[in-house]
Amino acid sequence: MIIVTGGAGFIGSNLIRTLNQNGENNIILVDNLTNGHKMHNIADLNIADYLDKNEFIERLDNPNFLTHIQAVFHQGACSATTEWDGHYVMANNYEYSKRLLTWCQTKHVPFIYASSASVYGTGNNGFRIERHCEKPMNMYAYSKFQFDQYVRRILPQATSQIVGLRYFNVYGSREQHKGSMSSTVYHFNQQLHTSDEVKLFAGCDGYADGEQQRDFVYVNDVVAVNLWFLVNSHRSGIYNVGTGKAETFNTMARAVMNWHKRGHISYVPFPEHLHGAYQSFTKADISPLRSAGYEREFMTMEQGVTDYLNQLNQAKT
């Protein structure tokens, strides 16, 4: 049996979808469905059981709770980078993760969890998995960073696999429930359904209008990395998950417009509240992932956008 926390969320539901496609249905999905719209992410999935997150956490203290677990994919978190309630964020992203990791170590269960490229902050020191590169700029990023620090301390004594995956800018199907936190691809597509205009931020941090750059990675590739570590359970550590390439928002917008065969770009003033708290450039150093043995090529932006928009817009027809 496999446990997927955050299983009704963006990456978690895609992970379960691929497990189903691989013939695996013996899955416990853990989530908080206060936002009931997330049920659309899981209505077509096959699972053995659903557990509310709070019930799941409470039952971890029971020594007889869940046996014969193959692995835990811990995707559940408060993912809003705009959330500044530190108590709430740390309870959901740090304390919960520590407790679940301890449970996995006690039961010798592989633990593969979602970290974030946000731990690098502005990225002024690069995007290598090294302490001097890390300086989070918001509570979400700090919670992920602090859990990575906790993992680093216990890795030398780990009794079973522990893998942290620092996701860069992930886009793809089943993200619509995230609202403002959804990817630019999703927002650009929505904008083109109501107008001929795609809106980007004006320049900032020395970058021209729309020329800020991110490492955009397709969700199918993120899932593939997770499942590779499931098979390669002898590999532990913290790894970046991105393409290793930086693309501009202008390039992404043009890819979406090319799919629609129409549209133009306009630029809106850069928000004041994001000055000093915005990643204008990200580019994953994936050499540790390659050194671990992961050889699969990542999809190009054009491939990922085309596949995603084919699915997204088919669902609208």
Predicted confidence at residue 63, as pLDDT, reads: 82
Structure confidence by residue, pLDDT tens digits, 121-139: 989 999 999 999 999 999 9
Query: How far is Cα 141 from Cα 119, in angstroms, rounded to an integer?
Result: 5
Q: For the chain, give every residue range classified as CATH 3.90.25.10.
A: 176-213+246-280+305-310
Give the domain 176-213+246-280+305-310 fold: UDP-galactose 4-epimerase; domain 1 (3.90.25)
Q: For the chain, give every residue range classified as CATH 3.40.50.720.
A: 2-169+217-242+285-298
Reported pTM = 0.95
pLDDT at 317 over 60: no
Nearest partner of 28 among 57, 66, 78, judged by Cα: 66
Rounded average pLDDT over 28-37: 94
Predicted confidence at residue 83, as pLDDT, reads: 80
Predicted confidence at residue 316, as pLDDT, reads: 58
Confidence tier at 315 by pLDDT (50, 70, 90):
low
Q: Which residues are catalytic?
A: 140, 178
Max alpha carbon distance in the chain (Å)?
59
Instruction: Count other Cβ atoms within 10 Å, centred on residue 273.
Output: 9
Structure confidence by residue, pLDDT tens digits, 143-183: 999 999 999 999 999 999 999 999 999 999 999 888 888 99
Structure confidence by residue, pLDDT tens digits, 231-277: 999 999 999 999 999 999 999 999 999 999 999 999 999 988 777 77
Structure confidence by residue, pLDDT tens digits, 44-56: 999 999 999 999 9
Contact 308, 150 (CB under 8 A): no
Paired with 214 in beta bridges are: 247
255 by Cβ neighbours in 10 Å (0-12 / 13-18 / 19+) ranks as: buried
pLDDT, averaged across the chain:
94
Predicted confidence at residue 109, as pLDDT, reads: 97
Give the domain 2-169+217-242+285-298 fold: Rossmann fold (3.40.50)
Q: Which amino acid belongs to residue 150?
A: Y
